[in-house]
Chains A and B, each alone.
Chain A
Amino acid sequence: AAGVIQSPRHLIKEKRETATLKCYPIPRHDTVYWYQQGPGQDPQFLISFYEKMQSDKGSIPDRFSAQQFSDYHSELNMSSLELGDSALYFCASSSSGTSSGFQETQYFGPGTRLLVL
C-alpha cells in the first residue's frame, strides 16, 4: 500500500538560510499534519491542513509557514533557520468522514532530518 512520502529525507542548511520540506499524503487522504521532533523529545504538532485550508495550528514559529496544494501535497517553508530548528520533521496524513464520528487514523511519513549548522 502507498505510504506518506516526504522529501528530502536529509537536509543540511546554514543558520539564517531557508528550507522547504515536502509531503505527499497517501492517495485520497485530504488532511495533512506536520510534526517536529527534536533530539530525544516527543513529536510536537506544528500545523495541519484540511482540503487546502489550515485546520489547526500548534507551536509553529512565525518564521515557518506551510500550505496544502490542490493535489493535497503540502510544503513546510522555514526561513531564518536557527540551530534549534535541527530536528526530524514528520508529515502525517488522514482521510476524513469515513469512520462514522470516530477519529481517522493518522499515517506518518519517514520524516525529513534537518541539520542547521
Chain B
Amino acid sequence: GENVEQHPSTLSVQEGDSAVIKCTYSDSASNYFPWYKQELGKGPQLIIDIRSNVGEKKDQRIAVTLNKTAKHFSLHITETQPEDSAVYFCAPRGGSSASKIIFGSGTRLSIRP
C-alpha cells in the first residue's frame, strides 16, 4: 500500500512570506496528487491537484510541483495570509479504480501577523 510522509509537520511563516510543504510517497503507480486544506472542525477541502502527465500547476497563490522520478510533490503558497492557517494533507493515489485516501500526518501551517 501507499506510504505517505509530509514535511514539515508544523510550519510557521510570517504573513506575506511563502510556504512550501513536501509530500513523499512510495507507490510508483500513483498518478493523482491532490492537496487538501482542513480548518478546525471542518471537512478537508481540495485546494489544488495534479495528475501524473503534468509537472506543475498553478492557481493564483497556490502551486503544486511533481517529481515522479523522486516520488514527491510539493505545495507552494505565496504571499501567505492569515486565512491560510490550517492543516494541509497530501493524498496521492494511483490506478484507475476509485480508491480510499490514506492520509498522512498532515502539516499544520500557522501564519504570523
Give the distance in Å from the alpha carbon of A26 to the alpha carbon of B24 in the complex: 30
Contact A45 B98 (CB under 8 A): no
User: Which stretch of B10-18, B59-67, B73-81, B103-111 is in the interface?
Assistant: B103-111
- Are B100 and A33 neighbours in the complex by a CB distance under 8 Å? yes
User: Closest approach, in angstroms, between the C-beta of A95 and any C-beta of chain B?
Assistant: 9
Q: Is B41's CB under 8 angstroms from A113's CB?
A: yes
Evaluate contact between A101 and B41: CB separation under 8 angstroms.
Answer: no
- Establish whether residues B42 and A111, one from each chain, have CB atoms under 8 Å apart when the complex forms: yes
Question: Chain B contacts of A74 at CB under 8 A?
Answer: none
Total A-B pairs in contact (CB under 8 Å)?
A: 68
Report the minimum CB–CB distance from B53 to chain A (whole Å): 8
- Majority DSSP secondary structure for residues of B touching A: loop
Report whether B101 and A101 are in contact in the complex, using a CB–CB cutoff of 8 Å: no
Q: Which 6 A-B pairs have the closest CB atoms?
A: A103-B32, A108-B43, A45-B100, A42-B103, A101-B96, A103-B93
Contacts of B105 in A (CB 8 A): 42
Contact digits for B21-37, partner A, Cβ 8 Å, 1 yes 0 no: 00000000001101010
Give B96 Cβ to nearest chain A Cβ, in Å: 4
Known: A42-B106, A102-B31, A105-B32. 13 other contacts (CB 8 A): A43-B103, A48-B100, A88-B41, A99-B51, A101-B31, A102-B51, A102-B96, A103-B31, A105-B34, A106-B101, A108-B43, A108-B45, A108-B46
